[in-house]
Structure 1
Amino acid sequence: MGYRKKMILTFVLDSLFILAAIFLSSVLLYEFTFLAGSLFFITFMMNLFAFYIFSFAYRLHKKTWKYAGMKEMLTILKTAGFTILVTAVFQQLLMDVITYRILIAAFFFQVVFIGSSRLCWRLAKDNFIKSYADKKRTMVVGAGSAGTMVVRQLQQNRHCELIPVTFADDDVTKHHVEIYNIPVAGSIKDIPKIAKAYQIENIVVALPSIDKRRLNEIFQECVKTKVKTQVLPMLEDLVTGKRSVSQCRDVEAEDLLERDPIALDYEAIETSITDKVVLVTGAGGSIGSEICRQVFRFKPDQLILLGHGENSIYTIEMELLEMYEGQRVEIVTEIADIQDAGKISTIMNYYKPDVVYHAAAHKHVPLMERNPEEAIKNNVIGTRNVAEASSSSGVGSFVMVSSDKAVHATSVMGASKRLAEMVVQHMNKESTTSFNVVRFGNVLESRGSVIPLFKKQIQKGGPVTVTHPDMVRYFMTIPEASSLVIQAGSLAKGGEIFVLDMGQPVKIIDLAKNLIKLSGHSIDDIGIKFTGIRHGEKLYEEILSKNEVHNQQIHPKIYVGTSSNTFITEIEEIVKIYPLHDKESLREKLLELANRDSTTTRKEDVILSAEA
């Protein structure tokens, strides 16, 4: 309520209270005889005039009654007291009489009425009005069953900070109709206009079954409002009680990917995993831990979590035991470094796994630029150790997690991953084990990725740091990446390089801008700072080189590249001499070996379509 309207309402109510005080006083003391003469009219007018004079003098109408206490009560007593005194003076001057009993009674009634009205206002502010005034005006996108459920629960939950005021929905039959007293103000394309008209402070997208492309279109409309946008939790979480509609999550970077997630061939995966012994290296990492979660659902006979960091292995072990309590899957933990060939060989020979998912690796590009010898030790030698141990122990399927940075590598990390791929492809030619490679783009939310960094920078008030305005990347989610690894293991015949169709590459700066806006901030407030391309980085990434292209799609959203040349002799050479080389010459040797068999290609040179 505006200040002007509030003042007018207060004056009207106080006038009625003064009239009621004098009326009740005369009725109680003299029944109705006092009301018949002019004395009642003069008393009322003088009382009203004096009250407004003293209320302005003591600033009674400007008091903040939300925090009222004894000081404010004393103000009411003084205002009412001096009002009665002035009224008595005017009675004597104009009528030559003072109605002491009526004026005294009117004083008490005025104090009670005016004081009670302020007290009631404070109580209403604390218990009713406050619950709405302090809440954020919210638009619910989607007036279907999910949207109406959101509105109903938000209205019932007085402790939630959101209050729904309008819907947006593309169903024209619902336009200008009220649902739970909340109007459907327009379509999705009208979101910016609706947000302005209704002074929206928060948007909740309540369309749980919508496809990713349409969801992205909705987010692009929400971005125009510069209002914080949230998403309804998954329906299964709502049904199971894990989350309530008041626990809407913020928009994640994966929501901005314009494609639907990969669909798995569950029958093929069950055949390759169920009742088998599965070993995951790097099981405590972002990808490795998600592989463990997904593998566990297919009920292997034994799941071996192998990792170098004891804390991360303990964390994923406890999570699996808690999430899947009662399932007959034996979980085994092994703390081991893949650079320790003897330990890895012992583990493989003891458990004799049927399937190995090799996710252990150093992946941070700038760190590996400064430590090329560590990239060789972990990514190349470590992979060789795991691969050779897998072969000697009779593993049926070996799947290595690689990176699109291995294609035409410009970084130490990418080069070491390409050499690791060569090791695996060479092992496929020498062993009865099926050795295969899965290449990822950038994995959202993984440790060291750009998205967690952006979120922290936004929370701190900025600026968000972007290396170059033209930098683009392919992105995928952690579950997508892990699903691709598992699916590849079930489809592999040996020697393939599996790639996910990751849609169109995303400009990093566009991703940063969208995350800023959908977090309820403006780009001007947060700011974007360009830091320059780091050593070893490229403006764009490739997913397959020309000599790896295979024009067959083996699974929806999954493509396969053919084996390329391997230079195992040269790899063995660099493995022997890497401790003797300085970092720069070692980096040059790595890049030369990694790119010896590759020809540069962009994604447009690779056929990645359903018609391929």
Structure 2
Amino acid sequence: MIGWLLALPRLFKRLIVLSVDVCLCVLTVWLAFYLRLGEWVSLAGGPWIAAVASMLISIPLFVSFGLYREVFRHVGWSALASTAQACLIYAICFGTIFTAWSIPDVPRTIGLAQPVLLFVAVSAARLLAKYWLGGAYRHGLGRKQRRNVLIFGAGAAGRQLATALANSDQFRAVGYIDDDTSMHGSMLDGIRVWGRNRVEWVVSDFNVTDVFLAIPSASKRRRNEVVDFLQPFSVSIRTVPGLMDLAHGRVQVTDLRPLAIEDLLGRDPVSPHPLLLGRNITGKTVLVTGAGGSIGSELCRQAVQLEPVRLVLVDASEYALYSIHRELNALDGAQSAEIVPLIASVQNRELMRQVFEAWRPNTIYHAAAYKHVPLVEQNVCEGVLNNVSGTMICASAAEAAGVSDFVLISTDKAVRPTNVMGASKRLAEICLQALAERSSTRFSMVRFGNVLGSSGSVVPLFREQIASGGPITLTHQDITRYFMTIPEASQLVIQAGAMATGGEVFVLDMGNPVRILDLARRMVELSGMTVKDAENPDGDIEITFVGLRPGEKLYEELLIGDNPQPTMHPLIMKANEAFLPWHVLKGEVEAIEAFARAGNAEQVRTRLTSVVSGFTPDARMVDATYNRQRARA
């Protein structure tokens, strides 16, 4: 029966509910006469006039208040409030006719009693439908096995989530966990609040499989502490949306997402300096190279919100450019800025000259680079041409076009590099430092470590490996890296560039380095699984070590020299880095570029060691084409 009703077209369902309300109008008039006269009367004359009036007044009101648009198995307090409002207006109209004016054969008290009876009857009918079509349907139809969950946090977010879960056929909330001792043992909408000391018992007794974190305003430190507490219980952890969604009451079961490692790593955001954030962007033409990459695309997202006159996107990848252009056009701030997508390689000297001359950007963020260490080791010449020659081509074109600010996105791998990628980025830094001494364009560099979720980083790789059942592959058990979220890094890049006077190497405060083995373990635990090792041979995901790759270091550094200088932003420092003057450097760069264009990877590496201080390449030459040529010789 329930399945048949639910399968009916929506129009038929509304007609059924409307018919029920018509019947309730007649029934409540008849009952009101019985309560007034003490006997049942026939529905003729005065009683029939009252019944017809009730239908003619109530049904249009109910339609206008949207009472027939409700999904009755999900009826809540808002629907009952609308019912009360409609019935209040109905009572005024019905009472005016039958009590204030009076109609023959209709006692005046009918005008007061019947509206009350109608409100009770209509409300009861909707609550009965909620129970019958909602509760009975969820528990009877399909017999789906719902997963028992705990909600961590009994505040507003937790209560909104519990309301959403009440209508879910996937999850069933069996309790709240909250640190507020005054709430322990109390009931919120039929769900008990427990303290942390009862979690182990609740998880075991109720067979809890998931914990939903309803603490959207919690700091990263607080989230880490909660995850550490929940780790021994082998439950999957999910989190609710941010505060803005909660403010609008938009918490739904579909909004829940697995707690990502990005939610735990990094720092809590530091409020940006408003003057620095807009200085090089607001009201100006901004150009971003590598606009479709991880950092470049986020720079574009943040820049377009700062109201530039024009945002020029440059990328060699057609798909990456299409994706970011489409995304930016959908953002709220995009309507005030002209967004120009240009397919172009930074190695194309003449095209870059034409682009810069045509669009005359005020600010350039140069994010185009090859950054994957093993790939650049296997493609030495192309890596150097893109990272060094591409930077110099853009820098020269920027000077010729009168660009005010040119900001290079650099990397911590440029510090005492052990790989060609890091050496090429350090050489690009040195070149811009030298150019800054004689140029009206303010060249500056911003150096930082790994960003969470960027293409080629370990986090997406580990996520894929966990999803496929493992194993997770690590290069070394002691390897560490700095991590920062992409939005934070991009915001700091914009602010650092705004402080430049020319030639500065800005270094972002990356916080504390993270041991990659600990990162992998935490990601496994967040998935509700356990690591398979000697101590836990029955675990789910194994971690294996494959050895350091060519050019890879156990740890990264951010500074070459000592005593970095503070700036007006607490997370941005200014490094003291030595460099060669341009008249000495120019010949070396030209020689390296010539060897790279000739495909001589060995000479490129050799010349890099002479010009990049501290570059100690791996003893093995792993350039794929170079080794293939030697093998065929």
User: TM-score normalised to the size of structure 1?
Assistant: 0.73
C-alpha displacement of 1:149: 1.1
C-alpha displacement of 1:407: 0.3
Change (3 A) 1:552 1:338: same
- Residue 568, structure 1, aligned to residue 585, structure 2: yes
C-alpha displacement of 1:125: 8.4
Deviates more, 1:363-372 or 1:234-243: 234-243
Change (3 A) 1:125 1:427: same
Deviation readout 1:95-145 (Å, 9 max, x if unpaired): xxxxxxxxxxxxxxxxxxxxxxxxxxxx99874157886111111111111
Residue 565 of structure 2 is aligned with which of 551, 567, 571?
551
Deviation readout 1:202-237 (Å, 9 max, x if unpaired): 011111111111111112222222211011111324
Matches within 5 A, 1:213-612: 213-239=221-247, 244-257=252-265, 259-324=267-332, 327-524=335-532, 525-547=540-562, 549-566=563-580, 568-569=585-586, 570-580=588-598, 582-596=600-614
The amino acid of 1:330's aligned partner reads E
* 2:177 corresponding residue in structure 1: 168
Secondary structure of 1:230 counterpart: strand
Distance between the aligned counterparts of 1:558 and 1:193, measured in 2?
47
Q: Which runs of 5+ in 1 are unaligned?
A: 1-122, 599-612
C-alpha contact (below 8 Å) 2:410/2:429 kept by paired residues: yes
Matches within 5 A, 1:49-88: none
* 1:179 corresponding residue in structure 2: 188
- Residue 201, structure 1, aligned to residue 209, structure 2: yes
Deviation readout 1:486-540 (Å, 9 max, x if unpaired): 1112222222122222211111111111111111112121111111110000000
Matches within 5 A, 1:28-107: none
C-alpha displacement of 1:554: 2.9
Change (3 A) 1:479 1:243: farther
Secondary structure of 1:520 counterpart: coil
Distance between the aligned counterparts of 1:407 and 1:378, measured in 2?
19
Distance between the aligned counterparts of 1:534 and 1:320, measured in 2?
37
Distance between the aligned counterparts of 2:490 and 2:502, measured in 1?
19
The amino acid of 1:546's aligned partner reads G
Distance between the aligned counterparts of 1:124 and 1:380, measured in 2?
66
Distance between the aligned counterparts of 1:240 and 1:466, measured in 2?
43
Deviates more, 1:251-260 or 1:409-418: 251-260
Distance between the aligned counterparts of 1:496 and 1:240, measured in 2?
44
Deviation readout 1:460-506 (Å, 9 max, x if unpaired): 11111111110000001111121121111222222212222221111
Change (3 A) 1:418 1:139: same
Identity of aligned residues (%): 42
The amino acid of 1:496's aligned partner reads E
C-alpha contact (below 8 Å) 2:276/2:494 kept by paired residues: no
Distance between the aligned counterparts of 1:556 and 1:131, measured in 2?
57
Distance between the aligned counterparts of 1:245 and 1:497, measured in 2?
46
C-alpha contact (below 8 Å) 1:387/1:398 kept by paired residues: yes
User: TM-score normalised to the size of structure 2?
Assistant: 0.71
Secondary structure of 1:436 counterpart: strand
Residue 150 of structure 1 is aligned with which of 149, 158, 161?
161
Secondary structure of 1:546 counterpart: coil
Deviation readout 1:153-185 (Å, 9 max, x if unpaired): 111x234x2211111111111111121221221
Change (3 A) 1:281 1:182: same
Secondary structure of 2:314 counterpart: strand
Secondary structure of 1:337 counterpart: coil
Deviation readout 1:385-418 (Å, 9 max, x if unpaired): 1111111111111111011000000011111110
The amino acid of 1:545's aligned partner reads I
Distance between the aligned counterparts of 2:208 and 2:426, measured in 1?
51
Change (3 A) 1:421 1:433: same
Deviates more, 1:481-490 or 1:468-477: 481-490
Count how many residue pairs are aligned between Structure 1 and Structure 2. 472
Change (3 A) 1:135 1:410: same
Deviation readout 1:255-290 (Å, 9 max, x if unpaired): 121521242112322232111000000001111111
Secondary structure of 1:465 counterpart: strand
Change (3 A) 1:553 1:274: closer
Secondary structure of 1:273 counterpart: coil
Change (3 A) 1:444 1:164: same
Deviates more, 1:356-365 or 1:217-226: 217-226
C-alpha contact (below 8 Å) 1:132/1:163 kept by paired residues: no
C-alpha contact (below 8 Å) 1:216/1:258 kept by paired residues: no
Distance between the aligned counterparts of 1:279 and 1:499, measured in 2?
22
Distance between the aligned counterparts of 2:556 and 2:464, measured in 1?
25
Distance between the aligned counterparts of 1:406 and 1:154, measured in 2?
50
Distance between the aligned counterparts of 2:296 and 2:416, measured in 1?
25
C-alpha contact (below 8 Å) 1:191/1:221 kept by paired residues: no
Deviates more, 1:212-221 or 1:556-565: 556-565
Change (3 A) 1:200 1:441: same
Secondary structure of 2:595 counterpart: helix
Change (3 A) 1:132 1:270: farther
Change (3 A) 1:212 1:242: same
Distance between the aligned counterparts of 1:370 and 1:326, measured in 2?
40
* 2:128 corresponding residue in structure 1: none
The amino acid of 1:536's aligned partner reads G
C-alpha displacement of 1:240: 5.8
The amino acid of 1:150's aligned partner reads L
* 2:23 corresponding residue in structure 1: none
C-alpha contact (below 8 Å) 1:354/1:395 kept by paired residues: yes
C-alpha displacement of 1:597: 9.1
Secondary structure of 2:437 counterpart: helix
Secondary structure of 1:554 counterpart: coil
Distance between the aligned counterparts of 1:414 and 1:193, measured in 2?
52
The amino acid of 1:446's aligned partner reads S
* 2:33 corresponding residue in structure 1: none
Secondary structure of 1:201 counterpart: strand
Change (3 A) 1:322 1:185: same
Change (3 A) 1:192 1:394: farther
Distance between the aligned counterparts of 2:346 and 2:321, measured in 1?
14
Change (3 A) 1:582 1:193: farther
Change (3 A) 1:303 1:191: farther
